[in-house]
Amino acid sequence: MPERHLRLPAVLFLLFAFLGAPAFAAGNDMGGSAPALPADLSAEQAEMARRYLESHPEARKAFEAARQQKEQEAREGVKPGDETAEGGKKDLAPAPRYDWRQSPYVSRLFGSRLKEEEKRRLVHFGHDLFVPRADVAVVLENMPAVPGYVIGPGDEVVVRMWGRMEGTQRLTVDRDGKIFFPKLGSFHVAGKTFEELKTFLQGKVSGIKEVRSDVSLGRMKGIRVSVIGEVRAPGWYDVSSLHTALQALSLASGVKDIGSLRRIELRRGGKVLETIDLYDFLLKGDGRSDLRLLQGDTIFVPVVGKLVVIAGEVRRPAIYELRDEKPLLDLVRVAGGFAPSAWKRRVLVERLEGNASRVVLDASVEDLENGKATVELSDGDIVRVFPILPVDVNGVTLEGNVNRPGKYELKSGMTVGSLLKDATDFLPETYFDHALLPRPVPPDLHKEVIPVNLR
For 96-137, what is each residue's pLDDT tens digit?
788 999 999 999 999 999 999 999 999 999 999 988 765 444
Give phi and psi for 281, each to the nearest 5. -70, -45
CATH number assigned to the domain with residue range 307-387, chosen from the 4 options 3.40.50.2300, 3.30.390.50, 3.10.560.10, 3.40.630.90? 3.10.560.10
286, pLDDT greater than 70? yes
Read off the pLDDT of residues 19-46 as tens digits, 9 standing for 90 and up: 544 444 444 444 445 666 666 566 666 7
Q: Is the peptide bond before 147 cis (omega within 30 degrees of 0)?
A: no
CA atoms of 24 and 35, how far apart (whole Å) = 10
Return phi, psi of residue 313, to 5°.
Answer: -90, 65
CATH of 222-301, one of 3.30.70.2700, 3.10.560.10, 2.10.260.10, 3.40.50.300: 3.10.560.10
CATH architecture under which domain 156-217 falls: 2-Layer Sandwich (3.30)
- Confidence band of 257 (pLDDT split at 50, 70, 90): very high
Which part of the chain is CATH 3.30.1950.10?
156-217
Residues of the chain with CATH 3.10.560.10: 222-301, 307-387
Give me the helix-helix angle, 57-76 and 43-55, nearest 10°.
Answer: 120
0.75 exceeded by pTM? no
